[in-house]
Structure 1
């Protein structure tokens, strides 16, 4: 079993060609999931992204409200992260990520819409099946893996935000909750929403389940709040890897340290055990406290330099890929 600190892989270095053969289900949403997928695509040819569908802001929120569809934005980002590393794949990735901007003085109906969001919704309307639509979009990009929604219906996140000296303030909606301040309690609506059948199957059939990084309450935790998804995560025979954030003090986690993040997981899903927690040592204040918190969820801690060298709280795909490769091979 591999333990200890993983080697540093320079950003400019090429990762040795190594397909681990691991069947991986990667869970999360937004930029965090895109970071893990950008790394996983380098070390396995069999990755399935399971994406939160609670976004209600920006282009996704408008399409969700106007058309009653799943919010496509995080799904689009996951597809783009898995795109084939060829001129074809990179071009279609840029097409998917392109946003329209109205000319000055004009408020246009397409303003701030991502073309990929419109393309995905078009496929959904033509095919009548969100999973089939995402598979067609993935084929267009040459995606190295599959992208699936976490649930088959749009979800809403509702939470209490801490107010000093006062009862918590109730905030409804992912876009508001993510920037409202320190979150105390959170739940998904509808509480009995059905999980995507294909996503549940991917978790059950995986060799590894990778959860995180990402906004803890609005991208990571929701997978453990959806009853069918939580059951799949707790009963799968796959090994479970939790990837910690580089910035443990974003808006919704204000005042929390890395150990607190693990306590949140334990509090909401005490039956959920983790095999490995991957953390960059620069984001961990008290190593002893963090290691103890990891042990409470059954996890071994592996420290590795997985952040970019630019000083920003951004995961470096090559470094993260090297960490995943070593963990998959050593456990």
Structure 2
């Protein structure tokens, strides 16, 4: 049952991979007016192979977003499992995901990436829409500090597995065309949710697409930042929650954030985080949003409850949730 059966908010979620799947799995419990805007810089695995062979957008993160929006019914679970199924063979199909092939086939038939994704969504009965953040495939580049020197790492898969400290990221091409429907969705949204997810390779690239960044700055919708449950990934290894926030503001210093959701177990210094969030003019909701077994994976019901409290707070007395 939807938390907002009447007057559901229009929500846009930005990201890629497992992080975006986590926010979508929560948000689809709250509203049917949901749009996922997905990074298109993936260059590894099945997506990377299809991108290189056919010159298409990498479909993997788009597939994962569609899977997360499948209804929790026999129909939805079956199609979700089919999209995620990977072949195991000694030939060219090895490790290709069925969903990737389905998406790319529709792109070839329709010659339109957005229409192709919409058709997959209809097939799945998806509770929301999935859009690419840009109209062309992108390459992610990062300046990484390794052993006292700064080197350039090229490719999302390489950035995500880097052994150094990411100092700066950029896209190639530097000024890619945004997906027009993605820009429209942001401008029409009541809420925009950024994160959780791989900070440099999934969350922050959206801020580097000029028209998308412009929409994020100009929209009347409010912006909610969801912090990760763990920094134990290669690209953010050893980074504190404060450093996550500051990295985002290095790349988008004028971006207004209205609310920040954080799990207390992932916050090194709660008092310092409160001060940092207050400094950027946002309110902070500290809430257990991870699974009960302690694994750093968001629980959809807990995260949905946190988002509900954030959204409701801004309908009433703004600022109370940080206390």
Unaligned runs of 5+ in 2: 315-323
Instruction: Tell me the residue number matched to 1:247.
Output: 230
CA contact (8 A) 1:272 1:297 kept: no
Q: Which residue of 1 aligns with 2:87?
A: 100
Between 1:296-305 and 1:275-284, the stretch displaced more is 296-305
> In structure 1, how many angstroms separate the alpha carbons of the residues matched to 2:63 and 2:97?
9
Match of 2:159 among 152, 173, 177: 177
1:44 to 31, 36, 45: 31
Matching residue within 42, 45, 60 for 2:47: 60
**Hey, what's the Cα distance between the residues in 1 that align with 2:108 and 2:244?**
39
> Using a 3 Å threshold, how does the CA distance of structure 1 residues 16 and 127 change in structure 2: closer, same or farther?
closer
**Residue 23 (str. 1) matches residue 23 (str. 2):** no
Q: Please, which of 111, 129, 134 is the counterpart of residue 117 of structure 2?
A: 134
Q: Which has the higher contact order (CA 8 A, sep 6+)?
A: 1
CA distance in 2, matches of 1:299, 1:114: 40
What is the aligned partner in structure 2 of residue 121 from structure 1?
Answer: 104
Q: 1:80 to 1:292 in 2, by over 3 A?
A: same
- Give the superposition deviation at 1:16: 7.6
CA deviations over 1:26-78 (Å, ceiling 9, x no partner):
00000000000000000111100000000000000000000000000000000
Instruction: Give the drift of 1:17.
Output: 4.6
Are 2:177 and 1:194 aligned?
yes
Question: Conserved in 1, the CA contact under 8 Å of 2:166 and 2:236?
Answer: yes
Root mean square deviation, CA, Å? 1.2
Q: TM-score, normalised by structure 2?
A: 0.94
Q: 1:293 and 1:130 mapped to 2: Cα distance?
A: 40
Q: How far apart are 1:143 and its partner, in Å? A: 0.1
Partner Cα distance (2:133, 2:141) in 1: 17
Q: The residue matched to 1:312 in structure 2 has which SS? A: coil
* Corresponding residue of 1:85: 72
2:150 is the alignment partner of 1:168: yes
Decide whether the 8 Å contact of 1:266 with 1:297 is kept in 2: no
Q: CA deviation at 1:299?
A: 1.1
Q: Are 1:249 and 1:257, in contact at CA under 8 Å, matched by a contact in 2?
A: no
Q: Could you list the per-position Cα deviations for residues 63-99 of structure 1 after superposition, in whole angstroms to 9, with x for gaps in the alignment?
A: 0000000000000000000012221111111110000
- TM value normalised by structure 1: 0.92
- CA apart distance, 1:296: 3.1
Aligned-residue offset at 1:297: 2.5
Q: Which residue of the partner structure matches residue 137 of structure 2?
A: 154
Task: Give the CA deviation at 1:193.
Answer: 0.3
1:128 and 1:272, CA in 2 relative to 1: closer, same or farther beyond 3 A? same
Q: SS at the partner of 2:161?
A: coil
1:10 corresponds in structure 2 to none
Q: Specify the SS of the correspondent of 1:221.
A: helix
User: What is the CA-CA distance between 1:164 and the residue it aligns to?
Assistant: 2.2
Aligned residues: 312
Contact 2:39 2:205 in 1 (8 A): yes
The 2-side partners of 1:183 and 1:50 are apart by: 24
Matched, 1:212 2:190: no
Q: 1:259 maps to which residue?
A: 242
Given that 2:2 and 2:29 are in contact with CA atoms closer than 8 Å, whether structure 1 keeps it comes out as no
